[in-house]
Structure formats: C-alpha cells, structure tokens
Amino acid sequence: MSPPVKCSLCCSLLTSCALWGLNGWTQIIQFQPPGPKPVPRNNNNSSTISALDMGISEEEWERLQKALDWPGPDQEITQLNQSTSPVHSTFSIVGLKESYKVGEKISVTITARDHNKNLKRYGGDFFKAKLFNSDLKASVYGEVEDHRNGTYSVALLLPWEGQAQVYVCLEHSSEAVQILNKYRESSFPRSHYNGHFEGPGPNKTRISEVVQCNLKWGADGSWRKGDCCCEYKDIKTGTVWQCERPKKLSCDNLVHHSRGGLEDPLNPLEKQIFTKTLTNVAITGDTQLINVLPNAAGIGTMERCRSGMTTPVPAGFYLKDVWKSFVCNTQQFSSSQMGSCLKNKIVYLMGDSTTRQWFEYFERKVPGLQRMDLHTPRTGGPLMAVELKNNIIVHWRPHGVPLRFTKMLLTDLHYISNDIDEIAGGPHVVVVFTICAHMVFHPITFYVHEVAKIRQSVVALLSRAPETTVIIKSGNTAGLKNIFQSDWYAMQLNTVMQEMFRDIDGVIYFDVWQMTSCHYLRENVHPGPVIVANEVNMLFSYVCPA
Ligand SMILES: *[C@@H]1O[C@H](CO)[C@@H](O)[C@H](O)[C@H]1NC(C)=O
Ligand SMILES: *[C@@H]1O[C@H](CO)[C@@H](O)[C@H](O)[C@H]1NC(C)=O
Ligand SMILES: *[C@@H]1O[C@H](CO)[C@@H](O)[C@H](O)[C@H]1NC(C)=O
Ligand SMILES: *[C@@H]1O[C@H](CO)[C@@H](O)[C@H](O)[C@H]1NC(C)=O
Ligand SMILES: *[C@@H]1O[C@H](CO)[C@@H](O)[C@H](O)[C@H]1NC(C)=O
C-alpha cells in the first residue's frame, strides 16, 4: 500500500483514535488503607503479581505460563554478532518432490546462524512462514516449531491447485524477543498518557490542566511512587488508573483522556539488535516453485459455523483473495444478504480501531445503514448506525484505559467486561470484542487480569442469554516491529485470550492473526480492505450460517 498507510499506522494505534463511558469509576482521593505491606523490592519485577491479583487460579497461571513460554539466549549478549542474522539463517524444504497433491504437507527446516555464521545453539528466534502464489492471490500460514537448538520446522499445507512458493522471514532474533519480553514486564513507561482536568477557576472562569497518567499495576504501583497521584479505581474490574495531582484543580476534575508520547528504553546495544536491517527480513532458502496437482478428495470443511469449534493451524487459506476457513463452512455475503442477515439484530462492536474498521465496513455495505450523530469524535466514538426498515442497530466503542487514542471524554471509555454486564443478550444480539493492540505496553499479568474480567462477564451473559452470539476477534499483525509494537507481543496476548477462553462454551474465536500474517498486503495495524472484508464475511458466516 502507499505511504499514507505508514502514517495512519503510527497515527492511529500509537497515537490517535478513541473509547465508551466510564461507568463504575470511583475515585480514591484519600490514600487507601494499606494492605499487606510488600517487602521492598524491584518495582519492575512483574513476578510480584500473584495469580490472585490477576483473578485466576494458581493452576491456570501455571498453564498460561507454559503456553507463553518462549526460549531465549542462554547467556548474556554483549555483542551484536552473537545474535541471529537474517542474512546467514536459511531454510530448506525437506525431501522436495516433483509434484504434490492438494491437501498434502511439506516440511520446511529453518537453520538459525549468528553474524559470524555460527549455528545458534538455543531457540527463541521469531520466524514467520507462509506459502503463497501471487498470481492466484493465494496464501496460507505456517506455524513455526522451535526445537530450542537453533533449528526450527514448519509444516505447510498445500491447499490450492497450481504452484506455490515458501516464504520465511526473521521478524526478530531471539535476542530481540528477550528484550521485548524484558520491557513488557518492566515498569518502564514505554507509553505515556495524558489526563485533561477541567474545572472552575477564579472569577467564573474555567481552567484546565494537563498531567501525565498511567496504569497502576503491581505491588507498589508500577509507575509513580508515594502519594503523588489521583487514583481512579474501577469498582467492578478493580483496575486502577492514576494521574499526577493537578496543581490548581482537584482529582474530581478529570474530564478527558488522550495518548501521550512514546518513550524508548533501549540502550545502544539493544538498539542495534532492533535495527531495521535485522528486523522482518526474508531469509534465503528453497524458493523454487512447488507443483500442486488436483486431489479428488477435496479440501476444507462443510461444517456449519457455530460456537465452540476449535481453530486449527492453518485456520484457513486465501485463494483469489477469498479466505476459506478450515474451522467451518464460511461464505461470501453480498450487500443485500448482509442486510437480510442483520434484520432485527443489535450488533455491539467493542475494542479498538480494528473493530471500528468493521463498523465502517458495515456502513459501506449494509444497505440503508446510517450513522447517527452522537456528537463524538470520528475516530474515538462511541459510534452508532441504524437501519430503520429492518430494525438494525450497530454500535462501536473502544475499550477502557490504557488506550492510545486522541483526546476524548473519559466517560466514553468503558471496560469491555462492564459493558458486557449491561447487555441483556438474546438471539438478536451479536457481541464482538477485541483487546490487543493497546495492551502491548503493559505487563502480560495485567492482560490476564483484563481477560479474566471479560471472561467472567461473558460467562454471565451466556448464562442469562445462551442464544447470544459472542465473538472474540484476535489481535492482528501490524506494520511496526519495534519495542513499541511487535507481532510477537500480539501473538502472546492472543495466546492468553485463546487459552483463557478454551473451555468456555458458546464463544466463537476468530484467528485474524493468521489471516493478516499470510496475506500479501504489507502488514498494517489496520488491515487492508480485502482482509477486513474477509473478516466480516466470517462474522456473517456465523450469524447466518449456510
Ligand atoms: C529494574 O529495576 C532495577 C532496580 O530498580 C533497575 O536497575 C533496572 O534498570 C530496572 N530495569 C528495567 C528494565 O526497568
Ligand atoms: C523477581 O522476583 C521473583 C520473586 O520475588 C524472583 O524469584 C525473580 O528472580 C525476580 N526476577 C528478577 C528479574 O529480578
Ligand atoms: C564481535 O564484534 C565485536 C565488536 O563489534 C568484535 O570485537 C569481536 O571480535 C566480534 N567477535 C567475533 C567472534 O567476530
Ligand atoms: C535439534 O533438535 C531437533 C529436534 O529434536 C533434532 O532433530 C535436530 O537434529 C537438532 N539439531 C541440532 C543441530 O542439534
Ligand atoms: C476578579 O474580579 C474582580 C472584580 O472584577 C477583580 O478585582 C479581581 O482582581 C479579579 N481576580 C482575579 C484573580 O482575576
């Protein structure tokens, strides 16, 4: 895509955009009664957070840690040349044959080497692999298995007839991933946020003050110490947001929220490890064309789309830019089919700008759907569109703080779990949420806490109204691959979400990470229109299954 893409990418996620209202916020202006006093320790050590703090059991936390486990260097890295080099790392197809049949798999081996061409002895490199055919606009994602000894393997399905080519890239070396991991769990504020206080001044004037705000998470509150701050605790989720005390106004006067700057924590060696020439680079290997012959047995599934289905790898593939799911029988919907599918439905889209893209797609495609003017910012919302003839209502709003949107009312920022608690549900209700892109700046333990609250609300919703459609949209891959935004972060958060909802009946999970990871468009935190169209067709395939 063209240059504006790059801009919208940084502007939107890392900077501009917006959320619903702040119901359930309470202010703790007085210092809270001290709980059990923690022993003084590094406030940047997130293992001071317990499973209890996250709202899950010890057993579940152990399972999650296993799922998130990622190997890393077995020694301290002091020189760049010890890290994995995309130039010297290679891949090869095991036992490449003259031809294959649709549905067969090929196996690819990746060998990681450092800048001195030495074989790596440990794993943890973040490789991405896919199979593609540009002419056919076809591609499929391949999961990389880490043997933890410097070699990796990928099983790639051959889902279409014709030719196919393997593509492997090194997104981050193992050394880079270790750094991503370190700063994710540290209290270093990579992302800053602003609180806009407004209130009465002398002589009937109105004054405003802008101060820094951030998440309070961890034993000593990870961001600012002591009695520095106004604290805002959401009663139901327990999440605490804090802002520096304004000089003239009181803590009650917090009105708007906006994203602040990004702060780079990297030291010179770490910066070298993240340099552009070593990041997201295709590695060399067997790129000859693979011949895939037709197979009478066919491929894919005719199973009707419903909740509770498992997502395989690959979850589907593109052919002529149409995503064919392996989860269930997905269809393409015309505008008029979309309109009739949504008749008498209320759709709640929640999360971030990626579900706003869905909202905008609905506006463009569903006949007669009109946006109401809610007097809210265009990017921040909340937004609502209606179609009176068929009684269709579509809502969108962003999730609660932390959120990197442009200035908007704090009362319009709601936690997903709180909003789900206020939805009656029923056969006419479709709830879609995503929470990923804005969470990458904070410890994974905080994410687990947020997901635990959402899960509680989803379980309650499905218990009072089992016929409600509940869809979790995973996070997608993005254009930036740096200390602020990385597909590795998104992948780890997706792992948490998928694991924590694994045993929840009645929920539908959309793996859009695979859909964005393998597509030919340049990766973007806001996936291109073709991808969004395929995502939304998947939604329709579940709401109105064939
Ligand atoms: C963690 O805290 C220690 C001691 O307070 C400090 O030396 C170190 O730089 C911090 N690390 C990060 C990643 O913030
Ligand atoms: C963090 O704290 C835990 C327990 O207090 C300790 O076992 C662990 O080694 C610490 N990690 C770091 C990086 O300091
Ligand atoms: C690695 O790089 C450092 C500094 O750039 C250099 O001094 C050292 O000799 C290199 N090591 C090897 C094994 O090439
Ligand atoms: C690495 O581990 C894999 C799987 O255990 C094994 O097949 C392979 O031979 C090992 N490679 C090296 C270089 O040790
Ligand atoms: C408030 O208004 C009064 C009367 O107009 C004036 O004398 C006073 O200086 C004003 N105070 C401030 C702080 O502006």
Q: Which residues contact 272 (CB under 8 A, 6 or more apart)?
A: 80
| Mean pLDDT, range 9-29, rounded to an integer | 39
| Same domain as 344, residue 282 | no
Contact 443, 46 (CB under 8 A): yes
Contact 230, 155 (CB under 8 A): no
| Same domain as 518, residue 398 | yes
Q: Is the pLDDT of residue 38 over 60?
A: no
| Same domain as 335, residue 284 | no
- The amino acid at 302: M
**How confident is the prediction for the chain on average, in pLDDT?**
91
State if residue 26 touches ligand 3 by the CB under 6 angstroms criterion: no
Residue nearest to atom 12 of ligand 1 (CA): 186
Lowest mean pLDDT among 16-25, 69-78, 522-531: 16-25
Per-residue confidence at 349, pLDDT binned at 50, 70, 90?
Answer: very high
Pairing of the two strands 281-282 and 162-172? antiparallel
| Same domain as 536, residue 434 | yes
pLDDT at 226: 65
Give the residue numbers spanning the domain of 505. 330-543
| Same domain as 334, residue 286 | no
Q: Is the pLDDT of residue 48 over 90?
A: no
| Same domain as 523, residue 380 | yes
User: What CATH number does the domain containing 160 carry?
Assistant: 2.60.40.10
For the chain, give the percent of residues with pLDDT over 90.
86
| Same domain as 481, residue 424 | yes
Contact 395, 347 (CB under 8 A): yes
487-500 vs 58-68: helix crossing angle, rounded to 10: 140
Cα(203) to centroid(ligand 5), Å: 6
Residue 51 lies in a domain: no
CA distances from 59 to 29, 54, 55, 69, 377 (A): 36, 12, 12, 15, 43
Residue nearest to atom 9 of ligand 4 (CA): 151
pLDDT digit string (tens) for 155-195?
999 999 999 999 999 999 999 999 999 999 888 899 999 99
Q: Is the pLDDT of residue 506 over 50?
A: yes
pLDDT at 29: 41
Phi, psi dihedral angles at 11 (to 5 degrees): -65, -35
| Mean pLDDT, range 345-365, rounded to an integer | 98
What is the DSSP-derived secondary structure letter of residue 320?
T
Q: Is the pLDDT of residue 21 over 70?
A: no
pLDDT at 220: 57
Please state the domain count of the chain: 2
Greater model confidence, 107 or 15: 107
Q: Examine the fold and report which residue of 293, 308, 342 is the final residue of a domain before the chain moves on.
A: 293
State if residue 188 touches ligand 1 by the CB under 6 angstroms criterion: yes
Nearest CA-CA partner of 362 in 339, 331, 345, 330 = 339
| Mean pLDDT, range 474-497, rounded to an integer | 97
Residue 335 lies in a domain: yes
Cα(188) to centroid(ligand 2), Å: 16
State if residue 148 touches ligand 4 by the CB under 6 angstroms criterion: no
Residue in the block written with tokens 């998104």: 490
What is the DSSP-derived secondary structure letter of residue 100?
E
Residue 236 lies in a domain: no
Q: Is the pLDDT of residue 1 over 60?
A: no
> To test the ligand 1 pocket, which listed residue (41, 42, 220) has its Cβ within 8 A of the most ligand atoms?
42
Structure tokens at 330: 């997905």
As a whole number of angstroms, the distance between CA 54 and CA 446 comes to: 7
Residue nearest to atom 2 of ligand 2 (CA): 47
Cα(245) to centroid(ligand 1), Å: 25
pLDDT at 45: 52
Per-residue confidence at 324, pLDDT binned at 50, 70, 90?
Answer: very high
Residue nearest to atom 11 of ligand 3 (CA): 81
Q: Is the pLDDT of residue 298 over 90?
A: no
pLDDT at 306: 97
As a whole number of angstroms, the distance between CA 40 and CA 397 comes to: 40
Q: Is the pLDDT of residue 27 over 70?
A: no
State if residue 267 touches ligand 1 by the CB under 6 angstroms criterion: no
Residue 471 lies in a domain: yes
pLDDT at 242: 94
Residue in the block written with tokens 């806001």: 526
pLDDT digit string (tens) for 208-260?
999 999 999 976 556 776 678 999 999 999 999 999 999 999 999 999 999 99
Radius of gyration, alpha carbons of the chain: 24
Q: Is the pLDDT of residue 401 over 60?
A: yes
Cα(205) to centroid(ligand 5), Å: 11
Q: What angle do CA 260, 264, 265 make, to 5 degrees?
A: 125
Residue 45 lies in a domain: no
| Same domain as 403, residue 539 | yes
| Mean pLDDT, range 82-92, rounded to an integer | 98
Cα(75) to centroid(ligand 2), Å: 17
| Same domain as 287, residue 334 | no
Residue nearest to atom 14 of ligand 2 (CA): 45
Residue 484 lies in a domain: yes
Q: Which residues contact 425 (CB under 8 A, 6 or more apart)?
A: 431, 461, 462, 464, 465, 467, 468
As a whole number of angstroms, the distance between CA 248 and CA 199 comes to: 9
The model's pTM: 0.88
DSSP string for residues in 467-522 = T-EEEEEPP---S--SSS--HHHHHHHHHHHHHHTTT-TTEEEE-HHHHHHSSSSP
pLDDT digit string (tens) for 425-461?
999 999 999 999 999 999 999 999 999 999 999 999 9
Residue 20 lies in a domain: no
Task: Determine the 3-state secondary structure of 398 from DSSP.
Answer: strand
Cα(42) to centroid(ligand 2), Å: 8
Nearest CA-CA partner of 140 in 126, 125, 161, 160 = 160
Q: Where do runs of H (alpha helix) occur along 171-308?
A: 174-185, 268-273
> To test the ligand 3 pocket, which listed residue (75, 77, 80, 81) has its Cβ within 8 A of the most ligand atoms?
81
pLDDT at 19: 33
Pairing of the two strands 507-510 and 469-473? parallel
User: What CATH number does the domain containing 532 carry?
Assistant: 3.40.50.1110
pLDDT at 276: 96
Nearest CA-CA partner of 107 in 168, 183, 41 = 168
| Same domain as 404, residue 287 | no
pLDDT at 422: 98
Contact 501, 299 (CB under 8 A): no
Residue 381 lies in a domain: yes
Residue nearest to atom 2 of ligand 4 (CA): 147
Pairing of the two strands 90-93 and 284-285? parallel
pLDDT at 219: 62
| Same domain as 466, residue 335 | yes
| Same domain as 398, residue 275 | no
